[in-house]
Every structure is written in C-alpha cells, then in structure tokens.
Structure 1
Amino acid sequence: MVPSTQSGAWHSALASEPRRRVLAVLEESAHPVDAVTVAAAVGVHVTTARFHLEHLEAAGLVSREVARSGRRGRPQVLFRATVAPVPVGEAQQRLTHALASVIGDDSDGGRARAERAGERWSEQLTTAASAAEHDGALAGPTPVLLRALTEIGFEPELRDETTIALLACPFRAEARALPDVVCSVHLGLLRGLARSEGDTGDVGLRPFVQPDLCLVDLPAARRTAE
C-alpha cells in the first residue's frame, strides 16, 4: 500500500500541467536527459525546467544522476523518470483528466458532450429506484439528488427549498483544471436525476462560489402535498 503522504506528494506535483509535460518528456526518453534538453522539449526557460524537475524529484517521480565525462569542470546532471506504483485513486484522477482534456478540445470547451455524459451517468445510478419513498418534508427529485450526491461523495447539504450546497467534490482537482468539462458532467448528472423523477425544470449548478463550495439551484420550492 502506498503511504498517503507519498500519494499526496504525487498529487501535488502532478497538479501542474507544465510539470506533467516535463515528466512526460522523461518518460518518453530512452536515456536520462539534462535540464536544458527538458526545457527545449517543453518550451520553457531552463530555470523553469529545473524548478519543475526539483518538485518531481521531491515527490519521488524523478531521480537524478551525475554524468562522469572525465573532463574538468562542473559535471552534467541528468534526470530520468522513476518507475513507481500509482495508487488506484491517483490512476483514476489521471484517467479523468486525460478524458476531460480530450473532450475539452471541442469548440464549446466540451460542455455539450460533457453534459450528455453526465446524463448517461445518471441513468446508471440506482438511487432513483431506492428513493421511491420520498422521505422528510420534501417531494419531487430533491431526495433523489441528495442521495445520489451523498453516494458519490459531494457531501450535499440542503440549505433551503431551492438550494443544495456541495461541501466536497471527489473531482475537485480535475474540476479546477477543466471546469467546462468536469462541472458540465456534474450538471448533466443533476438534470438527468431530476428528470428521472418527472421534473422538467432546469436544475442549475454554480461551481466554486467559494474555493471549496458549489451550489445546486433547484427549479422551484418543493413541499409535501397536503
């Protein structure tokens, strides 16, 4: 099992898109390369390349070695990618980011296809069936949304009859990097779940109203039929 501290270091190091490109250069190279070569391949200044290489090295994703040429002067420092096991969660994050990056190349930033993907996701959830009995004082799709969002890991909190606060997001890093795609998937999921309960209103999503808070706007207040 990979220690959580190591997994956190990998995640922090790979949160930077230029740093991922630096690592990709090393992974694709058959031999160790120096910072000058990395800088030229990525298109950054050599000082910037060294900065990213040091972060990757600190995370255990890159190792360095000194080339002994036999000449006088400062020896050449070379870098290579370190083969390391990737934790399941980290692998899933990389896959999510890779898929979102491809969709994000669409002319609309990937929003339309991402929303359709979220709607497909909603069809796969069994939450609607398990929530056929509407608990509490609310009717309509609200209990379904709360159950689904809880199961996925959003930590939803009903603020009032028209607003659900999302206090957590299992895809937050990906959403920050590619909000058009990731947040549109979540919007499609919400709308699909609402429609599964016969609601034709337009559920809305307000991403990152605060750094760690998103809000779901319900179409209208829903009260238990008297």
Structure 2
Amino acid sequence: MSKLGPLPARTDRRAQLSAPRRAVLDLLVERQSLTVAQVAQELGQHPNTVREHLEALDRAGLARRDSLPPAGRGRPASVYSYTPAASFSSPEYAVLARVLVTYLARAFPDGPALRRHAREAGRSWGRAIVERDRGLDGGHQPGRPASTGAGSSGEGTTGGAPGGTPSPRPGNGRTDASRAPGPAPEPAEAARLRRAAVDRLGALLDRAGFEPAAEHDDARSRLRLHRCPVLDLAKDRPEVVCSAHLGMAREILATTGITPGQVSLGAFVEPGACVLQVTSEPAGGGDDAVRVGPA
C-alpha cells in the first residue's frame, strides 16, 4: 500500500436495518451504553424483543456486549454499547464541516493564528468528550488521577477560559493556578500512567471512528490512526483539521497530567495511518506540533 495517511471512516450502515432495530442502535449511539432493561424502558418495548435486537446488532458488529461488575448473587447484567462501525456520517454533516473550516480559514488567514484557533476548537471538542465520558462512569476514568479535571492542557489558555483565566475545578471551587504541583512520579510509574492515558485516549478515538492502534515503549507511546472521519477535508485543509485533532487529543490527555509539549501529530506520514505520539518528556516542538507528510 503506497498511499500515505488513513482510510475514510466507515459508511453509515443504518440503512440496512429495520426501523425498530435502527431505533435501538440510535439510542445506543445517543446514550453510549445501556442494559436490556434500560433500552426496553426508553423505547417502551418488551425486554425479550429488545434483547433480540441487541443480540442481532452484536452479531452484525454494530454493538458490543460487556458484563457489568457483579452486584450480589446471580449472573452480572450485560451492558451494550455501539461500535465505531455504527458511527453515523451523512453528506449534510460533511458539508457543514467544510463550511466551518472554510470560514475559519478566511477569518484567520495568518498561518500560526489559524492553527492556534483550530487547536483551541479541538480543545473545546476534547473537553466535551471528557465531560461526556466522565458522566457515563460516575466521574472517574481508569488511569486518571482523581484530583485532575478537564481543561488543564495549558495551551494558549488555562482551563479553556477566554483570556487565560483559570477555570475552577468541578466540585471544589479551586483553580488550576491555586494548586501547588505535586511531586513528580517515578519513571516507571510515569510510564505506566502515560500508557494508561494513551490507551484511554485510544478507546475514545475508536468510538469516534479513528480506528487507532496503540504501541508503547519506555520513551514514548504511539497511536496509529487508521481511519479519519473527515478524510477529504483533512487532505484539503490539514492545517485546520489536523490541528483541531491535535488540540482534542491534548485536552483529553491533559486530564492525566500530560503536557501539550509531549503530544505531537504526524498527519499522512505513513501508508494507511496518521501517527499521534506521546513522549515521556516534552519534545521541544512547541504548540504547533503537526507535521504533514513524511519527514
């Protein structure tokens, strides 16, 4: 394979489903993960009917079944979530994305300013992903220190607030600036936390349709992104789209203490993938750490 960069995101497969089964899948996409009983209650259907739809979606690769942690006696309940193959894409959303990117490029024709604003837009996207994911698991993610919160990447502004005003942390009213930095973890522990953070990011990007594959060594972690939800647009305006993707990834990783200088993105750098890299130490590439094309 000689073409550099990822493949397009998978096409919408809802059209192949019956209306009742499509309603079940759409509910999973909206709510992320649900039990049979929850789907039945939401849709007003019998649990046996819902179970049949969910099992069919599982067989088709559009949903995934996992077991909840045991709670007392009996078999643990199953919970269903949608897979990246179920991600919805439509021509209308593609047109909207192109219009927004074109407007941004016209509003900020200067290269560095344009990329900076694109990264800030990506950070807002990352914060939304973090908040949604935190709400799904009761407020804490694996590999994330309990005291950290979204919006702490430190790139451009603090906590995403305009003008550099620190954002208060949820639940305690304190700001990032009011917290004294804790002791740095030992190298082995820092590597473990980095790997857990990158694996968590990979799970979120997988849900968004990027089809990532992670690899780790002592000095760095890499996520190879084999698909892109807006591939044609990324090819036309990588300085906007890829910068936004970098900002989003940095914001998600910032919730585990990884700094922007540790995170860079190589867009269209190898056959079949873009590469997001997270190093143990800041790489010194600055905020604008998107490289387009092979070195």
TM-score class, shorter: 0.5 to 0.7
* Structure 2 counterpart of 1:119, one-letter code: R
Aligned counterpart, 1:209: 269
Is the CA contact 2:211–2:227 (under 8 Å) kept in the aligned structure 1?
A: yes
Aligned counterpart, 1:159: 215
Measured in 1, the distance between the counterparts of 2:225 and 2:101 equals 21
1:184 to 243, 261, 267: 243
Measured in 1, the distance between the counterparts of 2:127 and 2:235 equals 26
Structure 1 residue 220: Cα displacement: 1.8
Q: Which has the larger radius of gyration?
A: 1
Structure 1 residue 197: Cα displacement: 1.6
Measured in 1, the distance between the counterparts of 2:272 and 2:234 equals 11
1:174 to 233, 238, 244: 233
Structure 1 residue 111: Cα displacement: 0.8
Aligned counterpart, 1:95: 96
Aligned counterpart, 1:117: 121
Q: Does 1:193 align with 2:202?
A: no
- Counterpart of 2:247 in 1: which secondary structure? helix
Question: More deviation in 212-221 or 185-194?
Answer: 212-221
Aligned counterpart, 1:83: none
The 1:143/1:176 distance shift into structure 2, 3 A limit, reads same
Is the CA contact 1:127–1:147 (under 8 Å) kept in the aligned structure 2?
A: no
Is the CA contact 1:104–1:180 (under 8 Å) kept in the aligned structure 2?
A: no
**Aligned residue-pair number:** 136
The 1:213/1:108 distance shift into structure 2, 3 A limit, reads same
The 1:88/1:208 distance shift into structure 2, 3 A limit, reads closer
1:134 to 137, 143, 146: 143
Structure 1 residue 91: Cα displacement: 0.6
Measured in 2, the distance between the counterparts of 1:210 and 1:143 equals 21
- Counterpart of 2:224 in 1: which secondary structure? strand
Structure 2 gap ranges (5+): 1-11, 13-87, 145-190, 282-295
Structure 1 residue 164: Cα displacement: 1.0
* Structure 2 counterpart of 1:177, one-letter code: D
Structure 1 residue 127: Cα displacement: 3.4
Which residues of 2 match residues 43-62 of structure 1 at below 5 A?
none
Is the CA contact 2:211–2:225 (under 8 Å) kept in the aligned structure 1?
A: yes
2:280 to 189, 195, 220: 220
* Structure 1 counterpart of 2:122, one-letter code: G
RMSD of aligned Cα (Å): 2.7
Structure 1 residue 190: Cα displacement: 0.7
Is the CA contact 1:128–1:197 (under 8 Å) kept in the aligned structure 2?
A: no
Aligned counterpart, 1:49: none
Q: State the structure with bigger RCO (CA 8 A, min sep 6), 1 or 2.
A: 2
Measured in 1, the distance between the counterparts of 2:215 and 2:199 equals 13
Structure 1 residue 134: Cα displacement: 3.5
- Counterpart of 2:90 in 1: which secondary structure? helix
* Structure 1 counterpart of 2:211, one-letter code: E
Structure 1 gap ranges (5+): 5-86, 222-226
- Counterpart of 2:94 in 1: which secondary structure? helix
- Counterpart of 1:154 in 2: which secondary structure? coil
* Structure 1 counterpart of 2:278, one-letter code: L
Measured in 2, the distance between the counterparts of 1:146 and 1:94 equals 27
Structure 1 residue 210: Cα displacement: 2.8
* Structure 1 counterpart of 2:116, one-letter code: A
- Counterpart of 1:104 in 2: which secondary structure? helix
The 1:198/1:217 distance shift into structure 2, 3 A limit, reads same
Measured in 1, the distance between the counterparts of 2:275 and 2:235 equals 15
Is the CA contact 1:204–1:217 (under 8 Å) kept in the aligned structure 2?
A: yes
